Amino acid sequence: MFLDHTIIGVGQGNFPWVVGEYEPPNIGTYWHSHAGRICHSLYFTLIPELGLVGILLFSGMLYYSYKDLKWILKKERKFLLKQNQSKEIIQQLHKIKFIIFGITGAMLGYLVSGAFLSVLYYPHFWLLISLCVALRNIEQNQIINSNLFS
């Protein structure tokens, strides 16, 4: 299916309706058609439905979210190395670090379980990506407004 529709795929949500065309023509006694059924894998749903464009966009969102989280941790470490920091600010920075670890762990759990579940269009991925973007924007605004991390 991917080889026939390499660039943009068969379209979002169209895997169940197209998979019947790719089954062997003579279905035997022990074989039943998979037409109309979902593919129980995030990756085997993503690849044929969204094609190369979808793969690049999905991978890009993962990459830039991870990059943003690393950037925030780097800025936090740099700030913690400065002298005479109040205990409250240090505690807030540790909370941010634990939020980042939580987001990273949740994303890894989503990606691993996605190998066996069709979770591509569930809101979990999109919520985790939006948390990464929001956290990056909050940190960037704090840097601009207070020069806290410079």
More confident residue, 38 or 6: 6
CA distance 7 to 28: 33
Distances (CA, A) of 5 to 92, 118, 127, 132: 49, 20, 29, 32
pLDDT of res. 93? 84
Select from 125, 130, 122 the least CA-distant residue to 108. 125
pLDDT tens, 94-150?
A: 898 999 999 999 999 999 999 999 899 999 999 999 999 999 998 888 777 765 554
pLDDT tens, 48-94?
A: 999 999 999 999 999 999 999 999 999 888 877 776 777 887 888 88
CA distance 38 to 117: 10
Distances (CA, A) of 93 to 65, 68, 85, 148: 19, 16, 11, 12
